[in-house]
Structure 1
């Protein structure tokens, strides 16, 4: 039985990102779909500017790793990300607080976990988080300006960076594509990384919230080094050796058990 189409298209992009170029027969075999189905998927993804079709296959437009569009990301891990987010939200002290959030599924769940708390200000460059929080009467939402990236629905660039440079928050909670003892938190996009750097620079405490698959992974652009990070929240599937090395550098590591997720 083939997987549903959004998951299938996400998997195509993931395979191309990992391998650069993949033959059609390999994609058909791995996804267990017919050549006709694959042609339709590749055609649609090419029209959206997400890949380049080749004679006998397809290749990634940016083999170094551009992120997967937010509408195609894997939402099967939402239960795990929600647990991570709830723990991260609990690190925000009681009382009036300003919290900065990057975009992403996990940080979106952090925002939901903070709903209902009185005197809460959310500062974000994520359109999805801003829209979700704006309807909560307890929340004041500050949305940065900037150029909106189609894949992540995040505003980036000088306007976004400037907004974070002039606003001081108690807690900045960052999602990331990679988190390692060697480099710190990283992402696929340089512009998003610069925005995250500005966000973290004016925060009294910095939290990175990522699922276990991101631990030990290093991607293109650094968001924050470990000496700037106060807390890491992840799950029990993370590489324990990496977590030990991260903790040894002064980061408080919180591991959420997801054995029954």
Structure 2
């Protein structure tokens, strides 16, 4: 196992369990305890975790993995969600895409639609995510509009007042929003207030708002609110969402699609 893969696995376990001990992590990943100690020390230096005697803790109550470490989480669920979201988009529309692993998969799913492959730009995509813009910019079927702003290394998203200035002058047919959490009572939220602010503007300028989120993010809260539940038209998620939770979102006026 490469160091990158090992670090990703350790961070995944930390997010899931809250704490890890050296011996247990070494056994689980089938490496030496010395390797895990070295990994913990190096990750602590990057402020990715908190080092403790004999182990490690997640870094803070509002823990956010950088995008490069989140790409392997819920892969099949995100691909199904992305395909379903892409199917909600009509040729000729102006689409807002926030950053995140699920919305990145939505961008990739759009490139696979044959009805968007021919001729002049079939979609206008407005995004503050540098990775999404770079993937779509080489494809002539998409007109790409990138907001200004300062890049966050954790998510490759542009945030700040420069992005606000662009978004204040556009109108979107649909905004596809990746979230840190989505709760019936507390709405959609993100771990970073800058990202939440840009996502909020995308929602405010869109005729329709679609939240694309795997079921682990539902019923949870994150630090900064993006929008209220009432502002969301459609939630696309995986079948891990319980019927009871789906009914709560439906009762709040959100169309729920599980895939």
Q: TM-score, normalised by structure 1?
A: 0.87
What is residue 67 of structure 2 aligned with on the other side?
A: 70
2:106 maps to which of 110, 113, 135: 110
| Offset of residue 44 of structure 1 | 2.7
1:39 maps to which of 16, 37, 45: 37
Moved more, 210-219 or 83-92: 210-219
| Offset of residue 233 of structure 1 | 0.6
Q: Structure 2: 5+ residue runs without aligned partners?
A: none
Q: Is 1:150 matched up with 2:149? A: no
Shift of the 29–190 alpha-carbon distance from structure 1 to 2, 3 Å rule, reads: farther
What is residue 247 of structure 2 aligned with on the other side?
A: 244
Shift of the 79–16 alpha-carbon distance from structure 1 to 2, 3 Å rule, reads: closer
Q: Distance in 1 between matches of 2:71 and 2:104?
A: 14
Moved more, 221-230 or 39-48: 39-48
Q: Is 1:190 matched up with 2:193? A: yes
Q: Distance in 1 between matches of 2:217 and 2:23?
A: 29
Once the two structures are superposed, residues 76-127 of structure 1 have per-residue CA deviations (whole angstroms, 9 ceiling, x without a partner) of: 5323211111111111223x21101011121112112223624311111111
2:56 maps to which of 46, 55, 58: 58
What is residue 259 of structure 1 aligned with on the other side?
A: none
Q: Distance in 1 between matches of 2:178 and 2:26?
A: 33
Q: TM-score, normalised by structure 2?
A: 0.87
What is residue 126 of structure 1 aligned with on the other side?
A: 129
Q: Distance in 1 between matches of 2:20 and 2:74?
A: 26
Shift of the 153–211 alpha-carbon distance from structure 1 to 2, 3 Å rule, reads: same
Q: Distance in 1 between matches of 2:18 and 2:109?
A: 38
**What secondary structure sits across from 1:45 in the alignment?**
helix
Q: Distance in 2 between matches of 1:219 and 1:169?
A: 25
| Offset of residue 245 of structure 1 | 0.4
| Offset of residue 155 of structure 1 | 1.0
**What secondary structure sits across from 2:168 in the alignment?**
helix
What is residue 141 of structure 1 aligned with on the other side?
A: 144
Aligned residues: 252
Once the two structures are superposed, residues 119-165 of structure 1 have per-residue CA deviations (whole angstroms, 9 ceiling, x without a partner) of: 31111111110000000011111111111111111111222233222
Once the two structures are superposed, residues 182-221 of structure 1 have per-residue CA deviations (whole angstroms, 9 ceiling, x without a partner) of: 2222221121111110110000100001112222222222
Is the CA contact (8 Å cut-off) linking 2:93 and 2:124 kept in structure 1? yes
Is the CA contact (8 Å cut-off) linking 1:17 and 1:64 kept in structure 2? no
Is the CA contact (8 Å cut-off) linking 2:192 and 2:224 kept in structure 1? yes
Is the CA contact (8 Å cut-off) linking 2:174 and 2:208 kept in structure 1? yes
**What secondary structure sits across from 1:208 in the alignment?**
strand
Aligned-residue Cα RMSD (Å) equals 2.2
